[in-house]
Amino acid sequence: MRVSSRIGVLTVVALTALTAVALAKPDKKELEQLLVETDTIAAKVSAIRGLPIKKPIARGIMSREQIEQRVLQRIGEDYSDAKLAGEERAAKRFGFLPVDVDYKKTILALLTEQIAGFYDPAAKELYLADWIDVTTQRIVMAHEICHALQDQSFDLEKFSKTVQDDGDASLARQALVEGDGVALMIEFMFQEMGVKVDPWVDDTITKSMASQVTGVQPGMETFAKAPLFLRESLMFPYLNGLKLIAFTRRHHPWSRVDDMFKTPPLSTEQVMHPEKYFAGEKPVKVKSAALPSLKKWKIVEQNILGEAAFGWLWRQHGVRDERANDAAAGWGGDRYAVYAPPDDDGKAIDSLVLVSYSTWDTETDAQEAFDVAVEAAPTWLGVDVPVEKGPTFARFVQASTAQSFIERKGSKLVIVIGQPAVAKKLRQEIWAKWK
């Protein structure tokens, strides 16, 4: 469950926070002249980043309509209609998206609005957007050239392929790619400005960027109106990826970042807490199993949420940011599956059953996750109070034929949304079979 595109998207909001420039549409001749300078800029990027230019970088200019078509093409190449539909229904059943949101249309609008330039690893081409001013485009080009050099050394098309049934690991890989590009862009910008200061000596740059991009910038209307889950998914690779690379650069040369492409972060937890990546703290693998109560039901989607998404889920449903993030920080591993009934029409959301099994670092962390999940219930599950609640168990009735529950046992947490009346033993089956 993630918003992504293997096209190298550089968010205008992040770029604006760094450069504070006006986004005035440039003259075509100015952009064409900038394209002529690509090789010169690439040489500077190569020298800063330490990655060789193995071959000339193909480049061009695209209109908004052309970029929209390219993004749509890449979404089609990355996702089948069935996969995209399954992901949409799962996101809605989990409570990340309102039921009436058109997932594909919204993603396309967001990505198109956010693009200032991109490098397409499938086509091996770099493109500038024809509506962004040249001053901004020069910085964008440095970022995208970094992606081109990453591709020449690490094969981005292969590296960025979705990790099977692990959206959390896929997002972590995206964060490495984009964090690398943003960090390079900052070092390039400092060099261009003649600023001889180590940008990674402390957290000033990363904190400043994170605080500034929370504001809505001109031309970001779609982003401003999008559900929190979509906004955070889109921004995560840039903001948290930068945090990962900034931490690395504070202690290591760029060559250590190269090594990370050989052993990439395995979770958003490792990206958000770089010390856990370097300590080798891996996510706990959770294994799902067939559930007799849902024997004839079809799995629509199964995946991993991860620390980042648990925090987004709770924040989206009214839990204070700090409290939600603190609770999510105890994450150790998880897996979820969304099941559709035998008579599924391929569209309904309320008839789906969601099962989530997660493990937390300690029993205290699991209890905190339980408490926050119950706190989020009024907007998340659409109920004011549970019909049954104890210190480690809460049950909610959402409809006459379905109910939901949240339960903790030790350091494990099970969440079920939409348990049908025919699956009376589902709770026991999950605890017995999922490990």
Helix (H) / strand (E) containing 97: none
Q: What is the pLDDT of residues 87-96, one digit of tens each?
A: 999 999 999 9
Does the pLDDT at position 341 exceed 80?
yes
Model pLDDT, residue 75: 76
Query: And the tokens for 355?
Result: 């099962």
Model pLDDT, residue 163: 84
* Average pLDDT over the chain, rounded to an integer: 89
The CATH number of domain 292-433, selected from 3.30.2010, 3.40.1000, 3.40.50, 3.10.280 = 3.40.1000
Model pLDDT, residue 209: 76
Between these two residues, 25 and 246, which has the higher pLDDT value? 246
Model pLDDT, residue 32: 83
Phi, psi (degrees; rounded to nearest 5) at 63: -80, 170
Model pLDDT, residue 206: 84
Q: Which of 99, 138, 107 is nearest to 18 (CA)?
A: 138
Q: What is the pLDDT of residues 62-113, one digit of tens each?
A: 888 888 888 778 877 877 788 888 999 999 999 999 999 999 888 888 887 7
Query: And the tokens for 194?
Result: 């003649």
Model pLDDT, residue 213: 58
Domain borders along the chain are: 12-278, 292-433
Residue 87 C-alpha from the chain's centroid: 14
Q: How far apart are CA 404 and CA 90, in angstroms?
A: 15
Mean pLDDT in residue range 305-320 = 97
β-bridge partners, 406: 394, 415
Q: Identify whether the C-beta of residue 12 lies closer than 8 Å to the C-beta of residue 219.
A: yes
What percent of the chain lies above the pLDDT cut of 90? Answer: 67
Q: Which of 141-145, 211-215, 357-361 has the highest mean pLDDT?
A: 357-361
**pTM above the 0.85 mark?**
yes
| Helix/strand/coil (H/E/C) assignment for every residue in 272-337 | HCHHHHHCCCCCCCCCCCCCHHHCCCEEEEEECCHHHHHHHHHHHCCCCHHHHHHHHCCEEEEEEE
Model pLDDT, residue 11: 39
Q: Which of 175, 40, 183, 64 is nearest to 118 (CA)?
A: 64
Q: What angle do CA 75, 77, 80 make, to 5 degrees?
A: 80
β-bridge partners, 170: none
Mean pLDDT in residue range 311-324 = 97
Mean pLDDT in residue range 157-172 = 91
